[in-house]
Amino acid sequence: MNKLTALNSCTVSNAKCLCFDYLTAEEIELIDKNSIDVKYKKGETICKHGTIAPHVIYLKDGLAKIYLEGLNDSLILKIIPPGNLIGLTSILEGNNTFHYSSHTYEDSAASLIDIKIFKQIISQNAKFAASIIDMLCENSLQTFGRFFCLKHKQLYGRLADILLCLSERIFKKEEFVLKLSRKELAELSGMSTESLIRMIKKFKDDDIIEMQGKTIKIMNFELLHKISEYG
Amino acid sequence: MNKLTALNSCTVSNAKCLCFDYLTAEEIELIDKNSIDVKYKKGETICKHGTIAPHVIYLKDGLAKIYLEGLNDSLILKIIPPGNLIGLTSILEGNNTFHYSSHTYEDSAASLIDIKIFKQIISQNAKFAASIIDMLCENSLQTFGRFFCLKHKQLYGRLADILLCLSERIFKKEEFVLKLSRKELAELSGMSTESLIRMIKKFKDDDIIEMQGKTIKIMNFELLHKISEYG
DNA sequence: GCAAAAAACTGATTTAAATCAGTTTTTTTT
DNA sequence: AAAAAAAACTGATTTAAATCAGTTTTTTGC
């Protein structure tokens, strides 16, 4: 496989959150005692860039995005499916703030784990720490790929990336229901809403996808991969 | 300070490589025995994306870039000044390859640290591991900022970012000698060579910088910061 | 020191994608 | 069920930046 095929603007990393598998019984209890379970409605804010980060967030259910906000623009860094952490970079020593904002795409549930306890366990449990390191590395790789593709690929290739990511990594089905507006899907693909609509039309005309309402079905994976690869 | 001011396409992270300060005498010896010192000429390749990563690279002297290569384009992820690590993400379990390429900007010297030994020390020394986690977090933040700015800021703002980064973070002087061609500087700013030349001209005409050959002097930091901030 | 090559620069043109200005369709509210 | 609001869509226009096609300047090698 060539280098380029490895780069895509996919919105989720390969990282599985395995770190909790390495906890002792006491550590699990410690985390349980120092966590708060929360439910979020669709569209709610989970965390806000620049505010103090009192916890690391484990998304148990639902779907969320993490993003950076500018004056006019915002940039989606990644999508968080269930079983992933939000705010891992906030464990950084000497800067206990959230480094991005997060927002739910659908009704979601999360555990808010006290960040001090989280850091304490990192310092006392080497396997847990190693697992965190792995996740941070995976997150970096995902960001690198997305960075490259949003900077260099054209609209066509970017939409192909997103569709493949949704189908293969997030929903793991060729047909899925994506509860996002065109505006949100455009933001995710890093393009304007109008451009997104035009691209979707092209994909439909070329029989690459079928789309009815919020249901998307990938009809031609092979071609979609080629479009993703060649930009 | 508002969120936006925190985002820049600066090419170096704030991370200081402190991890080696936490080693025991034996661990230092272990690393010494399992490291190779190498000298690179200007323009040499330090590591190549996709190849096996037998070591983590500590840049002792010189200047390097790490970047992703596409078919036509390449994307500079960051600049590595002396005292920083290259290839830290390669410690990721189950994927011992380099996740980017690296190339020297000037004559440089590095220590190649055996990656197995490096990982062994992570697993046995919690403070070392915590320091690695810190560096990974800092690297992520730097990438986020650069990602946002290269995606959303215009040429003018991007060049301002790079100039500020070079002056304030890398050379730590208002006047510095940058041994890069226009082409390399353009690549660093994520724009075409012609665009870079036009932007430099604008900056000179507006008395923001002075430039003679490879010597750059920042004349108006305040304005440069404003340009960086407002894009 | 001169020729050749590379780098720096300039102006004109092209292009990809955003923006603008709408219309149509769908959803929500009353 | 009708009105209002929001979302989806369409075509025309604009714009930022790349590309193209050169010229001038600097560097390199013989």
Q: Is A129 close to B133, i.e. CB distance below 8 A? A: yes
CA B204 centroid distance within chain: 26
| Test mutation, A47, A92, A138, chain B, max B CBs within 10 A | A92
Chain A to chain B Cβ contacts (< 8 Å)? 133
Is residue A6 pLDDT above 70, yes or no?
no
How high does pLDDT run on average in chain A?
A: 90
Read off the pLDDT of residues A138-163 as tens digits, 9 standing for 90 and up: 999 999 999 999 999 999 999 999 99
| B91 interaction partners in chain A (CB closer than 8 Å) | 133, 137
Is residue A27 pLDDT above 60, yes or no?
yes
pLDDT value at residue A70 = 83
Name the residue of chain B whose CA is nearest to A68's CA. B148
Q: Is B136 close to A136, i.e. CB distance below 8 A? A: yes
Name the residue of chain A whose CA is nearest to B2's CA. A50
- Map residue B108 onto helix, strand or coil: strand
Q: Is A52 on the interface with B (CB under 8 A)?
A: no
* CB within 8 Å of chain B, chain A residues 128-187: 129-130, 132-134, 136-141, 143-144, 146-148, 150-152
Read off the pLDDT of residues A100-131 as tens digits, 9 standing for 90 and up: 999 999 999 999 999 999 999 999 998 999 99
Q: What are the b/e assignments for A171-210, b being 16+ CB within 10 Å?
A: beeeebebebeeebbbbbbbbeeeebeebbeebeeeebbe
Q: Is B151 close to A123, i.e. CB distance below 8 A? A: no
| A13 interaction partners in chain B (CB closer than 8 Å) | none
For A5, what's the count of Cα atoms within 13 Å in the CB-facing half-sphere? 5
Read off the pLDDT of residues A37-95 as tens digits, 9 standing for 90 and up: 999 998 899 999 999 999 999 999 999 999 998 877 899 999 999 999 999 999 998 88
Read off the pLDDT of residues A165-207 as tens digits, 9 standing for 90 and up: 999 988 889 999 988 999 999 999 999 999 999 999 999 999 9
| A126 interaction partners in chain B (CB closer than 8 Å) | 122-124, 126, 129
User: For chain B, what is the radius of gyration of the CA atoms?
Assistant: 18
Please, what is the angle between helix B126-152 and helix A126-152, to 10°?
10
DSSP string, A82-108: TTEEE-GGGGSTT--B-SSEEEESSSE
DSSP string, B122-150: HHH-HHHHHHHHHHHHHHHHHHHHHHHHH
Name the residue of chain B whose CA is nearest to A77's CA. B144
In chain B, which residue ranges form alpha helices assigned H by DSSP?
25-33, 115-124, 126-152, 155-164, 182-189, 193-205, 221-230
Closest nt to residue B231, judged CA to C1'? D16
pLDDT per residue as tens, chain B (231 positions):
343 345 776 677 666 788 999 999 999 999 999 999 999 998 899 999 999 999 999 999 999 999 998 877 899 999 999 999 999 999 998 888 999 999 999 999 999 999 999 999 999 998 999 999 999 999 999 999 999 999 999 999 999 999 999 999 888 899 999 889 999 999 999 999 999 999 999 999 999 999 887 889 999 999 999 999 876
Residue nearest to nucleotide C16 (CA to C1'): A154
Q: Is A75 close to B148, i.e. CB distance below 8 A? A: yes
Residue nearest to nucleotide C25 (CA to C1'): A213
pTM metric for this prediction? 0.92
